[in-house]
Amino acid sequence: MNRTRIGHSLVVAAVSLIVMPAMVLAADYHHVHVTASNATEAVNWYSQYMDCQPLADRDDGVDCGGAQVVFDSRPSLGTSQRTGIDHISFSYADLTAKMADLEAVGVRGSGVRLQRFEDGSTLRDAPGLFKYGFVFDPWGTRIEMVEDADTLGFHHIHLSATDPAATLAWYQEMFGGESARLRDRLDGVLLGDIWLLAMRHEAGTPASTAGRAIDHIAFSVDNLDAAAADMRRNGVEFLEGPAVPEGGRTSARLGVIAGPDNVSLAIVEAGFAGVVSELSTADITTDLQPYTVPRTPWGTPDFQGVWTGDAAHGIPLERPRDLADVEVLSPEQAAARRERGTLGSIWGYESEWRDTTLGYVKSAPSRQVAMVIDPPDGRIPDLTPRGKELRAAARAARRPLAEGPEDLSSWVRCITRSLVQTPGVYNNGFQIVQGPGHVAMQVEMLHETRVIPTDSRPHLGSDISSWRGDARGHWEGDTLVVDITNFNGRVSYQGSSDTLTMTERYTRTGPDTLEYQFTIDDPTVWTRPWTGKFTYVRDDTQYELVEYACHEGNYGMTNILSGARSREADESR
């Protein structure tokens, strides 16, 4: 929720565990607020894996059996684990089956990460209590999965406290609720159907929840003014409000206090429905007119600098069928697509490892619908009969277990990533250096460098071929045109063969934008040439190329081949 930065001042705030008159105010649980880089995808994730339902009146939260979980579209500062709100919990009638389903989903970026115990298991049975295990959502929220037939769905909020008994007493005195014991084993406070539990934090004080995966808990009251006055009389300081937050969907007000153990708490009026959230990124304009392209000292257009394809990450190569008539995505659609691409591209990495995590880069996600711009329908042309034969042969030649390095991709072998450097989840840097008669281009992924002559020299003879072909460049006005021939066919782009010729066009469209077009012409494979494009963005204040030491200790190669031999040995027994 793009609040008035709820909790940012909580680092220096504290609330003493003071003794208050019973029932200072009668409050209801309102929601748990989770920080996710994109609320739309968080809604989808919790609906798919935690069996929640999207809220009917807003697009940034879910209803989990009567308990609301609401999402804030901004980067998280880290996992909820070891903060004042360590985790939230969901209950299922058959936890063994549920955890097996989640494990079958796989980690993936958009999947489910299971926390294993010391013996490698994902489940434990606490006698007299219930089975339990832990998973993480893609944004770092720790979730305890339990088997409690008495309370299915959203089960409890688990605090981490220096003094659990005092913390629970503070919440009961502050917000009401019933002091109770879950399964006669765990002390807690029951707020309607929501359990509030607390465990001892053994190492000092829990970390602040502000900005972390579980940012805060919210409670609602009927009369916020009376409640605030009552709380102030008992020594509780309001860090924010009460006030209508900027962008609030209703006129209901919100106030912020700090609970024990660095926990952020929000107090809201009845009818509060959150705020409209927007990412603080700048949209990249590629149609600045007029624009005068700067020149090098020798008179050619100046493309020098470090560019990045981060803004274009997530653009599909082909136009999706359901977007046949869409000219450009909305900012919300583009952000959700970027999040899907980012999460789906990394297996088990936290968001800080992903260059394209929403909010981490200054440029907004590209709203381009697809990379293919010709044919006009945004689809790759049909294959020729020979192209179909080559594709079938390539599929038939794939080995389930690699026998040697030659069976693995050129990327795994640290030779080349692709003929077209479409953006991925990280290492999207692209540096251009120019000199009279030459342009050098280095891509961050695999650190490949092409030195392209622009002095009208002819291509190499047809008897000389290479992995990425023979490139020759020339200038057409402000555009650098690069013609590439002499491919050896050993690294394919979308099924291309050694008869491929490729044309690249680089054009500066603004001070910080570089349009890249690529035309694929392989009459052996496709019935006609086709063209794609995307835009690179320059940000000298934030981006630099980092080392990509692929060959040094290529353990991926070693482990893939040794794993294949191990599986062969198992299958032969």
Domain residue ranges in the chain: 10-269, 305-311+377-538
C-alpha closest to that of 83 among 173, 245, 201: 201
Q: How confident is the model at residue 427 (pLDDT cuts 50, 70, 90)?
A: confident
* Per-residue pLDDT tens digits for 474-516: 999 999 999 999 999 999 999 999 999 999 999 999 999 999 9
Cβ–Cβ < 8 Å for 187, 51: no
Give the least confident one: 36-40, 160-164, 435-439: 36-40
pLDDT at 19 over 60: no
CA dist., res. 155 & res. 83, Å (int): 19
> Average pLDDT for residues 346-352, to the nearest whole number?
60
Give the residue with greater pLDDT, 75 vs 98: 98
> Average pLDDT for residues 518-522, to the nearest whole number?
98
Q: At what angle do helices 39-49 and 331-345 cross, to 10 degrees?
A: 60
CA dist., res. 563 & res. 573, Å (int): 16
Q: How confident is the model at residue 9 (pLDDT cuts 50, 70, 90)?
A: very low
At residue 421, the pLDDT reads 86
At residue 8, the pLDDT reads 35
What letter represents residue 513's amino acid? Answer: T
Task: Tell me how far CA of residue 53 lies from CA of 36, 38, 62, 67, in angstroms.
Answer: 17, 17, 5, 10
Angle subtended at Cα 27 by Cα 23 and Cα 30, rounded to the nearest 5 degrees: 155
Q: What is the third-level CATH fold of 305-311+377-538?
A: Lipocalin (2.40.128)
At residue 250, the pLDDT reads 93
At residue 420, the pLDDT reads 92
pLDDT at 202 over 60: yes
| Pair of tokens at residue 465 | 């071929």
What single-letter DSSP state applies at residue 30?
A: E
> Average pLDDT for residues 300-307, to the nearest whole number?
95
At residue 208, the pLDDT reads 95
Chain-centroid distance of CA 104 in Å reads 21
Cβ–Cβ < 8 Å for 316, 333: no
The number of residues making up the chain comes to 573
Residue environment code for 397-427, b if the CB has 16+ CB neighbours within 10 A, otherwise e: eeeeebeeeebbebeebbbbbbbbbbbbbbb
At residue 289, the pLDDT reads 63
Task: Find the Cα–Cα–Cα–Cα dihedral 418, 420, 426, 428, rounded to 10°.
Answer: 130
pLDDT at 387 over 60: yes
pLDDT at 304 over 80: yes
At residue 25, the pLDDT reads 64
Query: What pTM was computed for the model?
Result: 0.79
Q: What is the third-level CATH fold of 10-269?
A: 2,3-Dihydroxybiphenyl 1,2-Dioxygenase; domain 1 (3.10.180)
> Average pLDDT for residues 286-315, to the nearest whole number?
88
> Average pLDDT for residues 412-422, to the nearest whole number?
88
CA dist., res. 189 & res. 187, Å (int): 7
Q: How confident is the model at residue 7 (pLDDT cuts 50, 70, 90)?
A: very low
C-alpha closest to that of 196 among 80, 72, 67, 49: 67
Q: How confident is the model at residue 185 (pLDDT cuts 50, 70, 90)?
A: confident
- Mean pLDDT for the chain overall: 88
pLDDT at 103 over 70: yes
> Average pLDDT for residues 517-541, to the nearest whole number?
95
pLDDT at 20 over 50: no
> Average pLDDT for residues 405-422, to the nearest whole number?
88
At residue 347, the pLDDT reads 58
At residue 10, the pLDDT reads 35
At residue 285, the pLDDT reads 53
> Average pLDDT for residues 344-365, to the nearest whole number?
71
